[in-house]
Amino acid sequence: MDTTTAVNLQDAVHESYRELFNDTPLLVRSPGRVNLIGEHTDYNNGLVLPAAIDKNIVLAIGKRDDNAIHLHSLDQGQSYATTLDELERSPLLWPDYILGVAQQLIKRGHTLQGFNIVFAGDIPQGAGLSSSAALECATGFALNELFDLDINRLDLALAAQAAENDFVGVKCGLMDQFASVFGQEHRLIKLDCADFSHEYIPFNNPELRIVLFDTQVKHSLASSAYNERREQCEYGVSLIQKHHPEVRSLRDATLEQLDRYVKPADEVVYNRCYYVVSEITRLQDGCDDLRKDDFESFGKRMFDTHGGLQHLYEVSCQELDILVDLVRDDPAVLGARMMGGGFGGCTINLVKAEEVDRVVNEVSRAYYQKTNKTTQAYIANISAGTARLNR
């Protein structure tokens, strides 16, 4: 979010809260994310390399005297009300990201009372930039501050992920919520999902920009296919476990084990597992590239990741493949691939700063010619994670 948008969003949310509830709220913000490399590895106990970006959910919250929950989404222009005793899925969907987090905090033994929330955001929705994770994290952080719950950042991210898994029903890994909560300016987060240890890798080359091209499509099979991929990975692990009980996830598996125990049993599951195991290695090699400032080599690995997601993991789609193919031979684009869960959303591209305008123009024109759809380009600036905006 640039400073003007940030201030406008904050003012709008603040103002709306005062109008609706006649009170001064506590304000927080929580960002969306990009992921440079390491896709579909988080729920396999693997590694990911995300970063928080300058697009946020801004959320205003205040206490109530009863146990009611009153919610208002400025972007949707919708309100929803329930109580702490009736935390169930709503017909509107967006309240679920808030209610699911409240439920998780209660499950973890925290005491809440009623609250009001107004929120808005500038994270494009359905674009794979994790606007829902940002809303979950903003909610958890805000409830923590409001009721002095003393929850640490890791537990906030885990509660937000659990809300998505159990309440919303998407069996996502921890990447999106972790990136939103732990983001730091100009730094990527190398997160090890096996034990949540993480390190920051500086990413601040003035000659490069992270450009996102939004396909502007979200195919309907996205969440069912996501859960199916997860099950396929678990099945692959179970085949190896019969011979190597010490292998608990694809993180522990080797390509040799896949060849021996998974390939003869199920070719499709083998492809899924092969992609994941090689992607974890690719991420580690990619981090070595970054430490040496070798962005050319890093970019090539991004294209390799796309190939794996397209042909082995099969979570890409025509629109994503077109966007990647359009930049493949452009010397100003070091790397490109689909990002996030797949079946729509954005590609992430590493582009030479001085050529960004030309690349965006050319890709936009060609994408329209090939698909009859309009792409939207975003520049992602790596920014700080979840924070309180007022005292």
Closest CA to 159 of 102, 90, 83: 102
Please report, as a single letter, which amino acid is at residue 331. P
**Least distance to ligand GLA, CB of residue 40, Å:** 4
Exposed/middle/buried for residue 32 (C-beta within 10 Å: 0-12, 13-18, 19+): buried
How many residues in total does the chain contain? 391
Phi, psi of 166 (to 5 degrees): -90, -35
Task: Assess 173 for contact with ligand GLA (CB under 6 A).
Answer: yes
Residue 223 to residue 216: CA distance in whole angstroms = 17
Please report, as a single letter, which amino acid is at residue 287. C
Residue 132 to residue 354: CA distance in whole angstroms = 33
Please report, as a single letter, which amino acid is at residue 57. I
**Least distance to ligand GLA, CB of residue 132, Å:** 8
Q: Quick one: which segment of 67-75, 86-94, 167-175, 298-306 binds ligand GLA (CB under 6 A)?
A: 167-175
Q: Which residue is nearest to ligand GLA (CB)?
A: 172
Touching ligand GLA, residues 176-195 (CB under 6 A): 176
Task: Assess 304 for contact with ligand GLA (CB under 6 A).
Answer: no
Count the Cβ atoms, other than its own, within 10 Å of residue 169.
12
Helices vs strands, H then E, count in the chain: 11, 13
> Nearer to ligand GLA by C-beta: 42 or 304?
42
Residue 21 to residue 24: CA distance in whole angstroms = 8
Phi, psi of 337 (to 5 degrees): -170, 165
Q: Which active-site residues does the annotation give? A: 176
Q: Judged by CB under 6 A, which of 172, 239, 327, 348 binds ligand GLA?
A: 172
Q: Judged by CB under 6 A, which of 53, 69, 117, 175 binds ligand GLA?
A: 175
Q: Quick one: which segment of 57-65, 151-159, 172-180, 244-252 binds ligand GLA (CB under 6 A)?
A: 172-180
**Least distance to ligand GLA, CB of residue 136, Å:** 11
In the shown chain, the binding pattern of residues 118 to 157 toward ligand GLA, with x for contact by CB under 6 A and - for none, equals ----------------------------------------
Taking only Cα atoms into account, the Rg of the chain, rounded to an integer number of angstroms, comes to 21
- Contact between 147 and 26 under an 8 Å Cβ cutoff? The reply is no
Task: Assess 334 for contact with ligand GLA (CB under 6 A).
Answer: no
Task: Assess 279 for contact with ligand GLA (CB under 6 A).
Answer: no
> Nearer to ligand GLA by C-beta: 42 or 214?
42
In the shown chain, the binding pattern of residues 24 to 63 toward ligand GLA, with x for contact by CB under 6 A and - for none, equals ---------------xx-xx--------------------
Q: Judged by CB under 6 A, which of 183, 286, 299, 341 binds ligand GLA?
A: 341
Residue 302 to residue 9: CA distance in whole angstroms = 34
Residues that bind ligand GLA (CB under 6 A): 39-40, 42-43, 172-173, 175-176, 340-341
